[in-house]
Amino acid sequence: MASSTDSFFPAPDAGHLRARLAQAGLRATRQRLVILESLLTLPGHPTAEQVHRQVISQEPSISLGTVYKALDSFVAAGLTRRVAAAEGTSRRYDADCTEHHHLFCTETQEIIDYCDPQLDALIREFFAAKGLHDFQPHSFSLHITGSKVVK
Ligand SMILES: [Zn+2]
Domain ranges of the chain: 1-96, 98-151
- Residue 75 neighbours by CB under 8 Å, 6+ apart: 81, 82, 93
DSSP state of 47: B
98-151: CATH number: 3.30.1490.190
CA of 127 to the centre of ligand 1 (A): 23
Task: For 79, list phi and psi in degrees, rounded to 5.
Answer: -85, -25
| Mean pLDDT for the stretch of residues 103-109 | 88
46-81: pLDDT as tens digits:
999 999 999 999 999 999 999 999 999 999 999 999
Q: How far is the CA of 47 from the centre of ligand 1 (A)?
A: 13
Average pLDDT value for residue range 11-19: 86
pLDDT band at 8 (very low <50, low <70, confident <90, very high): low
Q: Which CATH number fits domain 1-96: 3.40.50.720, 3.40.50.300, 1.10.10.10, 1.20.1260.10?
A: 1.10.10.10
Residue 53 CA: distances (Å) to CA of 34, 56, 107, 114:
12, 6, 23, 27
Strands 92-94 and 101-105: unpaired
Per-residue CA distances from 125 to 2, 131, 139 (Å): 46, 10, 13
Span from the CA of 112 to the centroid of ligand 1 (angstroms): 7
In the reported structure, the alpha carbon of residue 125 is separated from the centroid of ligand 1 by a whole-number distance in angstroms of 23
Distance, CA 103 to ligand 1 centroid (Å)? 9
Ligand 1 mean position, distance from CA 44 (Å): 7
